[in-house]
Amino acid sequence: MEVPGKALPAGTYVFKLLDSTSNRNIVQIFDKDEKQLLATILAIPNYCLKPTDKPVIRFEERASNAPEAIKAFFYPGDDYGLQFVYPRDRAVQLAKRTKQNVLSMRNDMAQNITAPATSTSDASDQ
């Protein structure tokens, strides 16, 4: 599965909103035990008409030989979810291939997506 900045191998992951006073749209992805921070990703709200009663993940259209990519995900009971923002170069590649708009940020911001962190305590120091 692809998220901005990396492809995650098959497995179980924990998605959490970063507890930040400046922005609630920063998603952290951890391994299933929440011991290793794998990515910190910028997202924007993606509104839906009707809240769901369970988590929903929407995948982006991709070629059959490409990893699936999360387009947006929604927490139960919320009328909005989050959609990931990709580095510009990758967003352009994806938009050309899928013929859909892909949210983007400056390429130099991509270094923040995969900043090295080996645990949640390392991430809080950044």
In percent, the amount of the chain with pLDDT more than 70 equals 86
- Residue 123 included in any domain: no
How many folded domains does the chain comprise? 1
Residue 52 has what pLDDT? Answer: 85
Residue 45 has what pLDDT? Answer: 87
Q: pLDDT averaged over the chain?
A: 78
Domain that holds residue 23: 2-118
Count of helices and strands (H, E) across the chain: 2, 10
- Residue 55 included in any domain: yes
Of 57, 92, 102, 93, give the one whose Cα is nearest residue 75. Answer: 57
Each residue's pLDDT tens digit, 20-73: 777 678 888 899 999 998 888 888 888 888 888 998 888 877 777 777 878 888
Q: How is residue 7 written in tokens?
A: 């492809």
Q: Interior CA angle at 2 toward 101 and 32, to 5°?
A: 135
- Residue 104 included in any domain: yes
- Residue 71 included in any domain: yes
- Residue 14 included in any domain: yes
Residue 39 has what pLDDT? Answer: 85
- Residue 126 included in any domain: no
Residue 124 has what pLDDT? Answer: 38
- State pTM to two decimals: 0.70
121 pLDDT higher than 70: no
- Residue 56 included in any domain: yes
- Residue 124 included in any domain: no
84 pLDDT higher than 80: yes
Least confident of 69-78, 91-100, 104-113: 104-113
